[in-house]
């Protein structure tokens, strides 16, 4: 269940990172490379989350990883929201 929420948040972050306003600012502020790296990492995380729900029921290490990942995803969401607000 939590993985579904994380999956949705990661998807929201990726959508925000590809908004026209942010794409324009990426170029103007010369942060395009860093944001592309973030997009790549979030895409990889999203792919892994698809399998995490099943695995965490069997593996405590995966359950712990998902818990820690949740914190990181929320932090990334906050940063992207702040960046988007700054752009506006």
Residues ≥6 apart with Cβ < 8 Å to 2: 66, 70
55 close to 16: Cβ distance less than 8 angstroms? no
pTM, entire model: 0.66
pLDDT band at 3; cut points 50, 70, 90? low
Q: What is the pLDDT of residues 12-48, one digit of tens each?
A: 888 888 888 777 777 777 777 888 888 888 888 888 8
The pLDDT value recorded for residue 85 is 80
């Amino acid at each position: 269940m939590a993985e579904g929420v994380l999956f949705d948040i990661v998807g929201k972050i990726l959508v925000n990172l590809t908004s026209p306003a942010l794409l324009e600012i990426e170029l103007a502020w010369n942060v395009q490379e860093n944001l592309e790296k973030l997009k790549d990492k979030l895409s990889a995380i999203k792919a892994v989350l698809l399998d995490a729900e099943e695995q965490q029921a069997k593996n405590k290490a995966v359950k712990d990883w998902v818990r820690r990942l949740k914190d990181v995803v929320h932090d990334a969401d906050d940063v992207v929201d702040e960046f988007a607000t700054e752009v506006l």
